[in-house]
Amino acid sequence: MQSRLDERFTAAREEGRSLLVGYLPAGYPTVDGGIAAMRAMVAAGVDVVEVGLPYSDPTLDGPVIQDAADAALRGGVTTTDVLRTVEAVAATGAPVLVMSYWNPIDRYGPARFAADLAAAGGAGAITPDLPPEEAAPWLAASAERGLAPVFLVAPSSSDARIRLVAGISRGFVYAASLMGVTGTRAAVGTQAADLVARVRTATELPVAVGLGVSTGAQAAEVAGFADGVIVGSALVKVLVDAQRSGAGDAAALDGIGRLAAELAAGVRTPVPASA
């Protein structure tokens, strides 16, 4: 059975482009402000939304996402607000995934979280610190609710581990472009293309590349070899900068719209990988 997420990847493949996946944390700067920002990025061309679940110990995130998550938690955001955000954004028609460290889902209860995420219209969840070896309860819960469990591969992953991760992922495989935490980078490293090529020998699933992409040009480059381009910190930074400078909500949403449009143009003009 094709999910909304699967259909988007198929359609994009037929259009000869990559999907643009945009990440923002729920509850930043407020729950409603976060929803508005996510809707703005969908309106400007983001195909798939990753709703971040703010967590107290985000060991995989660089300073930008840490700061936003910290502020969201100080503002009192909870898992319930995250699910409300998913529901509001899924209403736009875009597939919505939750991006969460494992403990909040573990604590909520994997089966209960899967049920509530599905009920909110969510497409699945990305769980960056849940390794395949510990994933059985989440795989069962996701399968029962028709959710896509998305797992990560990294440049350091062996071919055997890539097969393991790809074998349990649904929707797509998330390829971390580099060894490091989230944050914008001046250049997308060569490791990403090699990694995607290795993933393709293991699975037919689409492969999306994340970590470090921040500009339309980088998006075009990654679109040359990947099915999806994931952008997080660059979008979050627009919101954080607007908060810091007191630019106001309207200016923040404009900024999100501008960056999303630039990135959306990028994924539509893939630079051939051999170039």
Q: For residue 171, state whether it binds other proteins (rule: CB under 8 A).
A: no
Helix, strand, coil tally for the chain in percent (to 5): 50, 15, 35
Q: For residue 189, state whether it binds other proteins (rule: CB under 8 A).
A: no
Cβ proximity to other proteins: between 108 and 253 the closer is 108
Helix axes 159-168, 191-200, angle to 10 degrees: 60
Considering the candidates 6, 7, 32, 61, report the single residue annotated as catalytic. Answer: 61
In the complex, minimum distance from the CB of residue 37 to other proteins, in angstroms, rounded to a whole number: 22
Closest CA to 232 of 72, 58, 99, 117: 99
Closest CA to 157 of 148, 149, 167: 167
* Among the listed residues 75, 115, 139, 155, the single contact to other proteins using CB under 8 A: 155
Q: For residue 13, state whether it binds other proteins (rule: CB under 8 A).
A: no
* Among the listed residues 10, 56, 201, 269, the single contact to other proteins using CB under 8 A: 56
Considering the candidates 50, 81, 116, 227, report the single residue annotated as catalytic. Answer: 50
Closest CA to 146 of 182, 172, 128, 170: 170
Degrees, nearest 5: CA angle 92-38-25? 135
In the complex, minimum distance from the CB of residue 64 to other proteins, in angstroms, rounded to a whole number: 12
* Among the listed residues 35, 125, 152, 222, the single contact to other proteins using CB under 8 A: 152
Q: What φ, ψ does residue 167 adopt, rounded to 5°?
A: -65, -30
Closest CA to 86 of 75, 76, 74, 98: 98
* Among the listed residues 87, 145, 163, 180, the single contact to other proteins using CB under 8 A: 180
Cβ proximity to other proteins: between 30 and 78 the closer is 78
* Among the listed residues 11, 91, 136, 250, the single contact to other proteins using CB under 8 A: 136
Cα 87 to Cα 122: distance, rounded to the nearest angstrom: 7
- Burial of 186 (C-beta count, 10 Å sphere; 0-12/13-18/19+): exposed
Q: How many helices (H) and strands (E) does the chain have?
A: 12, 9
Q: For residue 240, state whether it binds other proteins (rule: CB under 8 A).
A: no
In the complex, minimum distance from the CB of residue 94 to other proteins, in angstroms, rounded to a whole number: 25
Q: What is the DSSP string of 231-266?
A: E-HHHHHHHHHHHHHT--HHHHHHHHHHHHHHHHHH
* Among the listed residues 22, 25, 27, 62, the single contact to other proteins using CB under 8 A: 62
Q: For residue 112, state whether it binds other proteins (rule: CB under 8 A).
A: yes
Q: For residue 209, state whether it binds other proteins (rule: CB under 8 A).
A: no
| Count of alpha carbons within 13 angstroms of residue 156, beta-carbon side | 3
Q: Residue 13 corresponds to which amino acid?
A: R
Q: For residue 57, state whether it binds other proteins (rule: CB under 8 A).
A: yes
Q: For residue 139, state whether it binds other proteins (rule: CB under 8 A).
A: no
Q: Is 61 a catalytic residue?
A: yes
Q: For residue 163, state whether it binds other proteins (rule: CB under 8 A).
A: no
Binding-site residue total for other proteins (CB under 8 A)? 47
Give contact residues for other proteins (rule: CB under 8 A): 55-63, 66, 70, 73, 78-79, 102-112, 128-131, 133-134, 136-137, 151-158, 161, 165, 176, 179-181
Residues with catalytic function: 50, 61
